[in-house]
Amino acid sequence: MIDLHTHTLFSDGELIPAELTRRAAVIGYQALAITDHADRSSFDLIIPRIARVAEELGSAWGLTVLPGIELTHIPPAEIAAAAEEARSVGAKLIVCHGETIVEPVAPGTNLAALDADIDILSHPGLLSDAEAELAVRRGICLELSARKGHCLCNGHVARLALKHGAKLVINSDAHSPGDLIPLDFARKLALGAGLSEPQFEDCLANSAELVRNAQNRR
């Protein structure tokens, strides 16, 4: 399992990085990105601290650990600059909190995020055709989420992604120990969203590609 959307005590998660990554390794994860919620007030607090321990934790537990961030509730006009700043302080993978239907995310967030230097648009809610097309042009992955509430639009997101050829990934959006998902559950989530078995395998390949890109990013 490769999971590129998780949280620790640095935002609203329950676990420190060491325990999160250990628990992930025990259930068979190959790679994990720590992507705590942040805006421009906290990038310098969170990202360097995750980057400081990512490699040593990965080596200790036998998986790849990536320092990342989830741009969260940032005004759409500021998302591009925020992504650039997050990269500058060490984020190897950037998720942007999309327009989930269960939170008051500002309208226009999806489009602004897809026009910025991000890797994944998480739980994009009632994704539009134009947004799916932009994701294709920008090479940005759309997320199928295992998180309660955010997962309500997985079928819609999957349908539009397949219609337009956008890349999909499957993430836990883990905040607590029980949120981490083994590979078999990720498969069920994908099939439940309307994907075929080969399309599920494509999701895994997309996640693996993001890991390689992150590892090569300076």
Q: What is the pLDDT of residue 155?
A: 98
CATH number at residue 158: 3.20.20.140
pLDDT per residue rounded down to tens, the chain (218 residues): 999 999 999 999 999 999 999 999 999 999 999 999 999 999 999 999 999 999 999 999 999 999 999 999 999 999 999 999 999 999 999 999 999 999 999 999 999 999 999 999 999 999 999 999 999 999 999 999 999 999 999 999 999 999 999 999 999 999 999 999 999 999 999 999 999 999 999 999 999 999 999 999 87
pLDDT in tens, 124-179: 999 999 999 999 999 999 999 999 999 999 999 999 999 999 999 999 999 999 99
**What are the helix (H) ranges across the chain?**
17-26, 43-61, 79-88, 109-114, 129-138, 154-164, 183-192, 197-216
| Whole-number Å distance between alpha carbons of 145 and 35 | 14
Phi-psi group of 203: left, alpha or beta (phi > 0 → left; psi -120 to 50 → alpha; rest → beta): alpha
Crossing angle of helices 183-192 and 197-216, in 10° steps, is 120
Domain of 105 in residue numbering reads as 2-216
The two three-digit tokens of residue 81, written as one number: 């600059």
Q: How many domains does the chain have?
A: 1
Closest alpha carbon to 134 in 112, 149, 153, 152: 112
Q: What is the pLDDT of residue 218?
A: 73
